[in-house]
Amino acid sequence: MSEIGVLIPAAGRGSRMGKNINKQFLKLLGKPILYYTIKSFLDWRDDLEINIVLASNEFDYFKKNLSPLFSCSPQKLNLIAGGNSRKQSVNNGLKNFSEEVNYVIIHDGARPMLRTELIEKCYQAVLKYNAVSCGVRVKDTIKIVEDSFSKETLDRNSLRAIQTPQAFKLDLIMKAHKKTGKNKALDDASLVEEFGEKVYIVNGDYNNFKITTPEDLKPAEMILKERT
C-alpha cells in the first residue's frame, strides 16, 4: 500500500461532446481516452492506490474493455461509483481510500495527455504546500461580457486557466469537501480556497487540456501520436 492516492473522476456524461457513450471511452489512436489517463499514473510510480470513479453501469464496460489493456493486476484499479456532479464523484472517491493514504492527486479522466513530469511536480509541491493545482497562463485577452457587450477586461497577468492534476493532503481535501461548495460545480482547489486555506499553483501544460467538445479530439490524437 502507498501513502499516495490517485483519484480519477470519470463518471461524467460528456454532454458537450454530444456522443452516445461516455466521452472517456471514445478512442484516440485506437485506445480509450481513459486508458491514457490511467497509464500516465502507472508509468509514474507503481506503489499508488488508484480509485477510478465511474458511473456504476459502466463498471462492466471498464472491466471488459480497459482492464485487459494494463499489465497490472485489475485489483490495483479500484472502481468506485460516481455521483450526479463532479464534486459528488470526487467525494465518493475520497471516502474509499485506505488509512495509509496521506496525499491524494485528483485528475480528470478526460485529460489523457498528462505527463509524468507534471504529476511529479504536483507531488513535490503538495509535500510542501498541502494544496496544489496546475494552471497555465491564458493566451487570449479575457473580458467579462454582459448582454453581449464587453463590461470589463481582466488583467491577464494574474489569470490562470486551471487544470488538473490537483494534489492535496487527504484530510484537508476531505474537510473542504464536507464543509464547502454546496450546489456549485467547482474544481477541488476552489473548495480548499472556500475553506480558507491557500492553494499553490504550479505551471501546468498547454497540452494537458480537457477533452470536452468534438474539436478537442484531433489535436489530442496528434499530441499522443508524437509521443509514440
Ligand X SMILES: Nc1ccn([C@@H]2O[C@H](COP(=O)(O)OP(=O)(O)OP(=O)(O)O)[C@@H](O)[C@H]2O)c(=O)n1
Rounded CA separation 107/205 (Å):
13
Under rule CB under 6 A, residue 178 binds ligand X: no
Binding part of the chain for ligand X, among 40-48, 77-85, 98-106, 113-121 by CB under 6 A, reads: 77-85
Q: Supply the DSSP symbol for 45.
A: -
User: Quick one: which of 4, 7, 9, 105 contacts ligand X (CB under 6 A)?
Assistant: 9
Least distance between ligand X and beta carbon 155 (Å): 27
Residue 84 engages ligand X in binding (rule: CB under 6 A): yes
> What distance in Å separates the CA atoms of residue 120 and residue 141, rounded to the nearest whole number?
31
CB 78 → ligand X: shortest distance, Å? Answer: 14
How, if at all, do strands 27-28 and 31-32 pair? antiparallel
Distance CA 53, CA 27 (A): 19
Q: Quick check: 79 binds ligand X (CB under 6 A)?
A: no
- Should residue 181 be labelled a site residue for ligand X when binding is judged by CB under 6 A? no
Peptide bond into 165 cis (omega under 30): yes
| From ligand LQXTBERG, ligand X, none, interface partner of 5 (C-beta below 5 to 8 A by class) | none
Question: Is 118 strand, coil or helix?
Answer: helix
Q: Are 105 and 112 in contact (CB under 8 A)?
A: no
Tell whether residue 156 is a contact of ligand X (CB under 6 A).
no
Q: Which does 162 bind (CB under 5 to 8 A by kind): ligand LQXTBERG, ligand X, none?
A: ligand LQXTBERG
Q: Nearest distance from residue 13's CB to ligand LQXTBERG, in Å?
A: 10
**Least gap, CB of 1 to ligand X (angstroms):** 24
Tell me if 85 contacts ligand X by CB under 6 A: yes
* Angle (CA) 123 124 127, round 5°: 85
Residue closer to ligand LQXTBERG (CB basis): 144 or 185: 185
Do 82 and 11 form a contact (C-beta atoms < 8 A)?
A: yes
Closest to 85 measured CA to CA, from 183, 162, 17, 212: 183
Map grid coordinates 490537483 to a residue. Answer: 166
- Site residues for ligand X per CB under 6 A: 9-16, 24, 53, 82-86, 89, 108-110, 210, 212
